[in-house]
Amino acid sequence: MRSTWHSATIVETRAETPHSVRMTLAVPTWPGSEPGSHLDVRLTAPDGYQASRSYSVASSSPWGHVVLAIDELPDGEVSPFLVNEARPGDTLEVHGPLGSYFVWRPGQNDRPVQLIAGGSGVVPLYAMAVAHDLAEDTTPFQLLYSVRTPADAFFAAELTELAGPSFQVTHVYTRQAPTGWPGTVGRLTRDTLAASTIPPSERPRVYVCGSTGFAETVATWLLDLGHSTTDILTERFGGL
């Protein structure tokens, strides 16, 4: 294999939501990554036992700080450790960046971009929104973000901060909305999707990330609405 494992040290952890952690890693040899890409995290036990999982990169800096946001899978092996046990100073290994398909590159400004996320699926899309902002790109960006409750939203403050003339954020709350929320509470529907996303006539690039059920449902609706299959990129999680 050409690419190798990089040593990483946790420099900061904080609760992202009640069930997830935002983790900043110092990875001195990190080569940089494109918005939307992921990496593999590898943990090693004292007897040499190892476990690896893939996580999307939320952001990475030129000086080798890599930010991940990791949701705890109740039956997981790696995510409960990272969410509940890991703390600054701990070391682990990462491999990447991986994936150059589900990415948005600044300069891809010929067509608007529609981001659609469920839960922690917002992480790679947040990376794209950050890159769009840093590049001062005026390509219209929209995010439709479905979460259970306001407390379950990842990067809530950052997304509010990023919102502006060329980046519009719409939330769907499936269980509980903020006080004074004018909309309805409940699962995303095809009608809401149609009403709150860039129409197919504008030929947006559409990035969908969430659980398999979420991604399947949304991708099917997007096709029904008239988006072309080649304009819809999906990333699904839920395996491990």
Partner 1 sequence: MPFATRGFSGRRGQADTRVPPGQTMVEKWPVLSAGPTPQVETRDWELTVQDETGTDHRWSWDELHALGVEDITVDIHCVTHWSKLGMAWRGVSLDKILANVRSEHRYVMAHSYGGYTTNLPLEDLLDGKAWIATEAEGEPLDPEHGGPARLLVPHLYFWKSAKWVRGLTMMPDNDPGFWEQYGYHLYGDPWKEQRYR
Q: List interacting residues with partner 1 (CB under 8 A).
A: 1-3, 7, 40, 42-46, 48-54, 77, 81, 85-86, 90-93, 98-102, 212, 216, 219-220, 222-223, 229-230, 232-234, 236, 238-240
Q: Which is nearer to partner 1, 138 or 212 (CB)?
A: 212
Residue 233 CB burial class (10 angstroms; 0-12, 13-18, ≥19)? middle
54 CB-contact burial (10 Å; exposed 0-12 / middle 13-18 / buried 19+): middle
Q: Which residue, 111 or 150, is less far from partner 1 as judged by CB? A: 111
- Which residue number, 37 or 169, has a Cβ lying nearer to partner 1? 37
* Residues 6 or more apart in contact with residue 157 via CB below 8 angstroms: none
Contacts of 115 (CB under 8 A, 6+ apart): 122, 125, 128, 129, 141, 142, 143, 144, 206, 207
Minimum distance from CB of 183 to partner 1 (Å)?
27
State the minimum distance, in angstroms, from the CB of residue 164 to partner 1: 29
CB atoms within 10 A of CB 12: 13
Query: Minimum Å distance from CB 49 to partner 1?
Result: 5
User: Which is closer to partner 1, CB of 104 or CB of 173?
Assistant: 104
Smallest distance, partner 1 to C-beta of residue 229, A: 5
CB nearer to partner 1: give 53 or 171: 53
Least distance from partner 1 to the Cβ atom of residue 137, Å:
23
- Ordered DSSP codes for 145-172: EEESSGGG-TTHHHHHHH-BTTEEEEEE
Cβ neighbourhood burial of 158 (10 Å; 0-12, 13-18, 19+): middle
- Three-state DSSP class for residue 215: helix
Is 51 or 135 the residue whose CB approaches partner 1 more closely? 51
Minimum Å gap between C-beta 181 and partner 1 is: 31
Q: Which amino acid is at 21?
A: V
